[in-house]
């Protein structure tokens, strides 16, 4: 029997891996589950992605690209006349009010790097991409990394505890990291 030409098969397998992780978590990811979700033979998943780590890397890379594209779209709407910390605090609130399942998926894949060394460079790409985008609001690279770390920590706490979001507390914390005074401008003193 001739092999069927299917140039989209790899993409469908990646989409299926993302769907499996969304539905079952990292522990539910297997070549068999992905093959069933993609409606492809099991051998196709192992042909395109020899290991589960290969599938995790591809899934995280896809989710990263979508996430960073969303962040880029948000950053394009950034208004330099408005306090950056306030804008970031509103954006974080929008994240938490949005698709919780999507946030769980993103962090499930992102945190898989803790146990899967092959995934770590892709997780680092995500952090670097966030720092790059946020550098429009936070020109100091160390402060931009601290902002990303704060957002990550707050997202994880929100997902784990379900506590209500405190926009003003977030704005104040971001302003301190970003060196803003109460009026949204750069602070004359280190805080």
Buried b (16+ CB within 10 A) or exposed e, 75-92: beeeeeeebbbbbbbebb
CATH topology of domain 54-191: Tetracycline Repressor; domain 2 (1.10.357)
Domain 1-50 in CATH: superfamily?
A: Homeodomain-like (1.10.10.60)
SS3 of 30, please?
Answer: coil
Burial zone of 118 (CB within 10 Å; 0-12 exposed, 13-18 middle, 19+ buried): middle
pLDDT tens-digit series, residues 26-73? 999 999 999 999 999 999 999 999 999 999 999 999 999 999 999 999
Q: Which residues contact 49 (CB under 8 A, 6 or more apart)?
A: 13, 17, 31, 55, 58
Cα–Cα nearest to 56, from 143, 114, 129, 136: 114
Specify the pTM: 0.83
pLDDT tens-digit series, residues 129-178? 999 999 988 889 999 999 999 999 999 998 899 888 899 999 999 999 99
């Amino acid at each position: 029997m001739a092999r069927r030409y299917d140039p989209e098969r790899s993409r469908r397998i990646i989409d299926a891996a993302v769907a499996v992780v969304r539905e079952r978590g990292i522990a539910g990811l297997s070549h068999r589950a992905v093959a069933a979700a993609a409606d492809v033979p099991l051998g196709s998943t192992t042909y395109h992605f020899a290991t589960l780590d290969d599938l995790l890397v591809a899934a995280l890379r896809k989710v990263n690209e979508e996430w960073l594209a969303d962040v880029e779209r948000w950053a394009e709407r950034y208004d330099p006349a408005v306090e950056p910390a306030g804008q970031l605090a509103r954006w974080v609130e929008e994240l938490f009010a949005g698709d919780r399942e999507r946030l769980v998926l993103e962090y499930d894949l992102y945190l898989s790097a803790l146990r899967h060394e092959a995934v770590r460079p892709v997780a680092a790409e995500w952090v670097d991409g966030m720092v790059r985008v946020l550098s429009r609001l936070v020109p100091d690279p160390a402060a931009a990394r601290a902002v990303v770390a704060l957002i990550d920590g707050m997202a994880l706490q929100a997902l784990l505890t379900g506590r209500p979001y405190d926009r003003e507390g977030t704005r104040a914390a971001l302003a301190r990291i970003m060196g803003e005074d109460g009026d949204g401008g750069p602070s004359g003193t280190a805080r």
